[in-house]
Amino acid sequence: MVAWVLLIVGGLNWGLYVFGYDIATWGLPAGLLDTVYVLVGLSALWLAFTHKHDCKTCSSGSNM
């Protein structure tokens, strides 16, 4: 669940970055900001590698 939330935050940040906003920099010190970026990246990797196990559609053998 934590990985999913971090992935959503990361996706929203990338989407807003196009319009000149970077939500991660809103009041976060540089060291903590780097940590947030690393956690978002690790969350994306975690969900990419565990997706088939967690997804009902993918684990059922469906071709969707």
Residue 26 token pair: 């809103």
Tens digits of residue pLDDT in 6-32: 888 888 888 888 898 887 677 878 888
40 burial class (0-12, 13-18, 19+ CB within 10 angstroms)?
buried
Tens digits of residue pLDDT in 28-54: 788 888 888 889 899 989 888 887 777
This prediction's pTM = 0.68
Mean pLDDT of the chain: 81
Which residue type occupies 24?
Answer: A
